[in-house]
Chains A and B, each alone.
Chain A
Amino acid sequence: AQSVTQLGSHVSVSEGALVLLRCNYSSSVPPYLFWYVQYPNQGLQLLLKYTSAATLVKGINGFEAEFKKSETSFHLTKPSAHMSDAAEYFCAVSGTSGNTGKLIFGQGTTLQVKP
Chain B
Amino acid sequence: GAVVSQHPSWVICKSGTSVKIECRSLDFQATTMFWYRQFPKQSLMLMATSNEGSKATYEQGVEKDKFLINHASLTLSTLTVTSAHPEDSSFYICSARAGRGHKAFFGQGTRLTVV
Contact = CB atoms under 8 A, between A and B. Distances in A.
B67 interface: no
Interface string A89-103: 010001000011111
Identify whether the interface residues of B are mostly helix, strand, loop, or mixed.
strand
Interface in A30-44: 32, 36, 41-44
B93 A44 contact: yes
Contacts of B34: 101-103
Contacts, number: 62
B43 A90 contact: yes
Interface string B88-115: 0001010101001111101111010000
Size range of the interface on A? 20 to 34
Interface residues of B, number: 27
Contact of A46 (B41, B43, B103, B107): B103
Contact of B104 (A41, A42, A101): A101
Interface stretch (A61-69, A73-81, A104-112): A104-112
Contacts of B108: 42-43
Interface string B1-28: 0001010011000000000000000000
A51 interface: yes
A105 B102 contact: no
Contacts of B104: 46, 101, 103
Nearest to A108: B43
Contact of B102 (A36, A41, A94, A104): A94
Contacts of A101: 32, 34, 95, 97, 101-104
Report, nearest first, the 7 A-B pairs whose CB atoms are least far apart. Answer: A101-B97, A43-B108, A43-B106, A44-B106, A107-B43, A105-B43, A43-B109
